[in-house]
Chains A and B, each alone.
Chain A
Amino acid sequence: MAVTQMDPFAATWLQREDRTSKVRLTANPDYWDKDRGPRLREVVLRNDLTPEEALDLVCTTEGEVDVVTEVSPADAEKVENSEHAELVSTEAIFTVAGVINRDAEGLPLADRRARLALNLAVDRERLVRETMFGRATPLAGLTPPAAVPEEGRLKPHSHDPGRAAELWNEARSETGGGERPLRVAALGGLEDVARAVAADLEGALSVGVEVVVYRGEEELPVRRRLAEKKLAQGWDVLILGHGAQFAESVVAELHRAFAGATGEFRAGPAVPEFESLFAELAAKTAPPEQAEVSQRIDRLVRDESLALSLCAPRALYAVNKHVDFTPYRTSFEFAETSVDDGHWSRR
């Protein structure tokens, strides 16, 4: 199902997973770049297992599952201590952040000060430590550190609950609202993050905070309602994870999604300054100039608090000990992957 808008034309696909139980990939032996591969004759993708079953198989057996993607930080230690698997990880172009509903009734979230208060209330270091088991990096705006050289990285908001309370109260007294509880919602297994954020907001802002978690089939209508932007949302902050498919298009995928006129996650009016910068980016073809404008866009998102910036989790894989797997920052690839003589397929 696609949600479309006409001016400017944009579409967001909301898809249920409808996969065949197995997909067999056969290598192209004539691939031009011999340094990258192929080093495997074939790969079978198994869609007939739950994530729990797959993790159990890679950890406790051989010959069933060689690589499991999207391992939860909570399961990382289990992999590290397993008989047959090791943990492989990389910084990833993936962001966990909160959509701030700037149209929320009864709360001052259209006011920058209130949104900034949310960002200052969150203790990102603790969030990373306690909900990601240290396997993530605090975010400044929406650009994951993996997408920017070290010297070009923005500084995340400080954790300043006192200043957060001042700003929240200023915005509330001038624009009204703030008497009702704040609703923090989460998608995609991010309940622990939502509860940690809720505790920080409750503590800093002295507001009631309700946590709503949308699981499984409940996610699709929430995503649809947000993409359509016709009905009021049932939350004030929606925490979700989102990645970029390609390193060349981080802003077009992440920042546009959260804050752009065509953004599927934007909750509130389009932001003219954002659109102006986004148009400037489109006109740049030299990578250094693109990087400079991209950083200005990320700074705008941070400084205007157009999202609740949280963290960039590392991509975690459970990999059979006889498989040499090279993780990518963006997608799941097998290009450089090989197996050694101890692998079950060679014994």
Chain B
Amino acid sequence: METYRWKDEGRTLEVDVREGNRFPDGEPLTAHSVERAFDEVMLWASPHPPGTQFNFAPGTTLEVTGEHGVRFRFPEPDGQALGKLRAMHVMSTPFWEGPGFGYERQGSGEGHW
């Protein structure tokens, strides 16, 4: 993350993704990497091993605003969102298509993020 901006009294969070970065496998890090991670984490009811305190509320959405920009919208203000983002691991495409967080070994991402 390069920078972030809160808007709409805590219901919107805009994040600028740092430019020029690559995953260890060479894939560039873009807003679409963050979008994929968000889509993956939202698949599960309780993906994080510590518990559901890191879940985004149901109804939270992510919109790609540019090659390096994303916008989160929360149904209610979520001042804990930056902490939750620390638990949302952003990975490259081969990771999601391969092992995932427990996908390959367990057949599920519940409790494995």
A, B assembled together: yes
- Interface residues in chain A, defined as those with a beta carbon under 8 Å from any beta carbon in chain B: 2, 4, 9-13, 15, 26, 28, 30, 32, 245-246, 248-249, 252-253, 256, 262, 264, 281-285, 290
Closest to B53 in A: A252
Closest to B13 in A: A285
Dominant secondary structure of chain A at its interface with chain B: mixed
* Contact, CB under 8 Å: B86 / A282: no
Q: How far is the CA of A253 from the CA of B48 in the complex (A)?
A: 13
Closest Cβ–Cβ distance, residue A262 to chain B (whole Å)? 7
Judge if B79 is at the interface, Cβ distance under 8 Å: yes
* Contact, CB under 8 Å: A15 / B111: yes
Judge if B24 is at the interface, Cβ distance under 8 Å: yes
Dominant secondary structure of chain B at its interface with chain A: loop
Closest Cβ–Cβ distance, residue A21 to chain B (whole Å)? 16
Q: How far is the CA of A10 from the CA of B78 in the complex (A)?
A: 17
Mask: chain B, 1-38; 1 = CB below 8 Å from A; 0 = not: 00000100110000000101111100000000000000
> Which residues on the A side are within 8 Å of B45 (C-beta)?
4, 9, 11
Q: How far is the CA of A15 from the CA of B113 in the complex (A)?
A: 13
Judge if B65 is at the interface, Cβ distance under 8 Å: no
Judge if B60 is at the interface, Cβ distance under 8 Å: no
A-B contact pairs, 21 of them (CB 8 A): A10-B51, A10-B52, A13-B46, A13-B49, A13-B50, A15-B111, A28-B23, A246-B87, A248-B86, A249-B83, A249-B86, A264-B51, A281-B79, A282-B78, A282-B80, A283-B10, A283-B76, A284-B79, A285-B6, A285-B10, A285-B79
